[in-house]
């Protein structure tokens, strides 16, 4: 029977690594952990969990570190995980059957399930799914995105990692004329759920590596796109991000992800015609086709061309639902919400509100759905319903803005007592809020 070993590179991961190693241990014959400079108990904890632990200097190059770990492996196959990941139990149980295959299969794609707190609707061309719970370490997540990634492969010197950051094996496997087989086996990734400080420190390190990567290989469109995302989200430099996205699109016009990033940034800047032009480069079928129509719909909506926006949203929703796997996904619900709000603006109040309420009920954790329903109710002057909807939203999003909005709507319909209660609740959470304090001061106590 072929053997399989777990290969990892780690740094300061003493809290995460026990979960990771426990999840993989039933499936592997050896565990190799390469430490790149931990200052905590990572190495000691890994050894206690049965790993062979090695130390190497960190050279600001993920592929070099990955390859150093591969050199220390002795098994026929290699499984790769990061400390902030866990192998799902069903994946661990099915790995042995994957190892018995013909010699043209070099590796397998697993689904890296990325749990996130954000309620964004698009991450590149990947489908966003609302997270409904069931995994203890993902309890703070709002969505997840599945990213296919080669994580199980044959151990041979001919298969190795490339790229300084976002390292991959695929080019070497394809160059050998061998196959990468897809699976539906899941690796749970919790790295996006860490506290803001930890995430910022990690992202800052990634930014420096991306700058080095584009200097070394200025013709790699993927590095330019990743740099643009870092410039947009970390540096808040939209102009530089725009240039990076454009460079990525020029280098590989067939990569839909860079066009999504470019169109999305144009939408944020209310450059609607430019957004339509960028989105038009996306494929017309599948998930990219859904995103293409949705983004064009957003741009047309922003231009006030509501009938055209309605047609675009409707076509996107039809395309999304033509694939049974897309029903109930984040993109499906975002589209229904957008379509509903557009219908309300077009005077089709009943059908529009029905769609908006359905989206809220299906994904109550998504603030965007609540916001759009509230705007629609205010637009048709159903202020009492809007006030109730605003209070309902607080159960899922206890922000300063949510309390202020709900209290203002209660005041608008003359319900001072409920407005006071809402503001008192808000001030318990946001005691220093000038906005809430001013609103509360405007309502005398009974």
The answer as to whether 279 is a domain residue is: no
The mean pLDDT value for 15-34 works out to 97
Q: Are residues 111 and 189 in the same domain?
A: yes
Q: What is the pLDDT of residues 121-180, one digit of tens each?
A: 555 556 677 787 789 899 888 888 899 999 999 999 999 999 999 899 999 999 999 999
What is the count of structural domains for the chain?
3
Asked if pLDDT for residue 29 goes beyond 80, the answer is yes
Say if residue 239 is in the same domain as residue 173. no
Which CATH number fits the domain that encloses residue 83? 3.90.550.10
Q: Are residues 94 and 226 in the same domain?
A: no
- Show the CA angle centred on residue 278, arms to residues 306 and 343, nearest 5°: 15
Calculate Rg over the CA atoms of the chain: 25
Pull the structure tokens for residue 328: 């109930």
Query: Do residues 18 and 158 both lie within one domain?
Result: yes
How far apart CA 277 and CA 253 sit, in angstroms, is 13
| 43 and 169 inside one domain | yes
- Joined together, the tokens standing for residue 404 give 């202020």
Report yes or no on 181 lying in a domain: yes
Give pLDDT tens digits for 242-293.
Answer: 999 999 999 998 889 899 999 999 999 999 999 999 999 999 998 889 999 9
Q: What is the pLDDT of residues 363-398, one digit of tens each?
A: 887 888 999 999 999 999 999 999 999 999 998 888
- Does one domain contain both 98 and 216? no
The predicted structure's pLDDT at residue 444: 75
Distance CA 409, CA 364 (A): 20
Please tell me the predicted confidence (pLDDT) of residue 328: 47
Q: Which residues contact 203 (CB under 8 A, 6 or more apart)?
A: 230, 233, 234
Count of positions (residues) in the chain: 446
Q: Which pLDDT value is given to residue 203?
A: 80
Could you tell me which residues are beta bridge partners of residue 87? 187
Q: What does the pLDDT read at residue 121?
A: 55
pLDDT value of residue 446: 56
Q: 176 and 225 share a domain?
A: no
Mean pLDDT score, 12-41: 97
> Do 63 and 176 sit in the same domain of this protein?
yes
How far is it, in rounded angstroms, from Cα 47 to Cα 20? 13
For the chain, how long is the longest CA-to-CA vector?
A: 80
327 pLDDT tier (thresholds 50, 70, 90): very low
Tokens for 445?
């106590």
Residue 320 lies in a domain: no
Do both 64 and 133 map to the same domain? yes
Listed residues 194, 210, 232: the one ending a domain: 194
| Mean pLDDT over each residue of the chain, to the nearest integer | 91
Where in the sequence is the domain holding 13, given as residue range(s)?
4-194
| Same domain flag for 27 and 146 | yes
Q: Which of 233, 250, 267 is where one domain is finished?
A: 250
340 has a pLDDT exceeding 90: yes
Alpha-carbon dihedral angle through residues 225, 111, 51, 57, given to the nearest 10 degrees: 0
Same domain (yes/no): 9, 144: yes
- List beta partners, residue 9: 34
Question: Residue 353: inside a domain, yes or no?
Answer: no
**CATH code where residue 225 lies:** 1.25.40
Contacts for 75 with CB less than 8 Å, ≥ 6 apart? 2, 3, 4, 5, 28, 29, 30, 155
Which of 251, 182, 248 has its CA nearest to residue 210? 248
For 446, the token pair is: 């009974």
Nearest to 142 by CA among 159, 122, 128: 128
3-state DSSP helix/strand/coil percent for the chain, to nearest 5? Answer: 55, 15, 30
State both tokens at 183: 């699976």
Tracing tokens 């009974």 back to the chain, one arrives at 446
Amino acid 205: pLDDT:
85
Q: Is 244 helix (H, G, I), strand (E, B) or coil?
A: helix
Do 97 and 152 share a domain, yes or no?
yes
């Amino acid at each position: 029977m072929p053997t399989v070993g777990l290969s990892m590179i780690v740094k300061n991961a003493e809290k995460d690594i026990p979960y990771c190693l426990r999840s993989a241990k039933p499936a592997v014959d050896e565990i190799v952990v390469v430490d790149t400079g931990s200052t905590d108990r990572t190495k000691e904890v890994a050894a206690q969990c049965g790993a062979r632990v090695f130390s190497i200097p960190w050279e600001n190059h993920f592929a070099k570190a990955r390859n150093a770990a591969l050199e220390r492996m002795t098994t026929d196959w290699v499984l790769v995980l990061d400390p902030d990941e866990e192998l799902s139990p069903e994946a661990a149980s099915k790995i042995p059957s994957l190892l018995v295959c013909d010699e043209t299969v070099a590796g397998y794609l697993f689904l890296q399930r990325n749990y996130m707190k954000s309620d964004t609707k698009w991450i590149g061309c990947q489908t966003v799914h609302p997270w409904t719970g069931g995994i203890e370490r993902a309890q703070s997540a709002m969505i997840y995105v599945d990213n296919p990634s080669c994580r199980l492969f044959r151990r041979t010197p001919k298969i190795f990692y490339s790229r300084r950051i976002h390292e991959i094996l695929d080019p070497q496997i394809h160059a050998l004329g061998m196959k990468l087989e897809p699976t539906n086996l899941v690796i749970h990734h919790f790295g996006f759920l860490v506290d803001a400080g930890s995430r910022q420190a990690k992202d800052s390190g990634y930014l420096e590596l991306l700058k080095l990567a584009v200097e070394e290989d200025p013709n790699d469109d993927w590095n330019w796109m990743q740099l643009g995302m870092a410039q947009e989200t970390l540096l808040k430099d939209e102009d530089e991000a725009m240039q990076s996205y454009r460079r990525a699109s020029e280098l590989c016009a067939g990569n839909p992800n860079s066009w999504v990033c470019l169109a999305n940034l144009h939408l944020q800047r209310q450059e609607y015609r430019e957004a339509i032009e960028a989105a038009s480069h996306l494929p017309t079928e599948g998930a990219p086709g859904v995103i293409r129509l949705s983004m064009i719909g957003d741009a047309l909506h922003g231009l006030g061309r509501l009938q055209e926006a309605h047609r675009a949203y409707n076509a996107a929703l039809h395309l999304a639902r033509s694939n049974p796997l897309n029903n109930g996904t984040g993109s499906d619900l975002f589209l229904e919400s957008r379509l509903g709000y557009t219908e309300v603006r077009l005077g089709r109040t009943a059908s529009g509100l029905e769609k908006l309420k359905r989206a809220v009920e299906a994904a109550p954790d998504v603030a965007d759905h609540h916001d759009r329903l509230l705007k629609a109710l205010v637009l048709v002057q159903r202020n009492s319903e809007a006030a109730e909807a605003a209070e309902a939203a607080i159960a899922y999003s206890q922000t300063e803005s949510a309390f202020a909005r709900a209290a203002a709507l209660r005041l608008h319909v003359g319900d001072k007592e409920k407005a006071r209660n809402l503001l008192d609740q808000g001030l318990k959470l946001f005691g220093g809020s000038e906005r809430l304090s001013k609103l509360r001061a405007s309502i005398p106590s009974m």
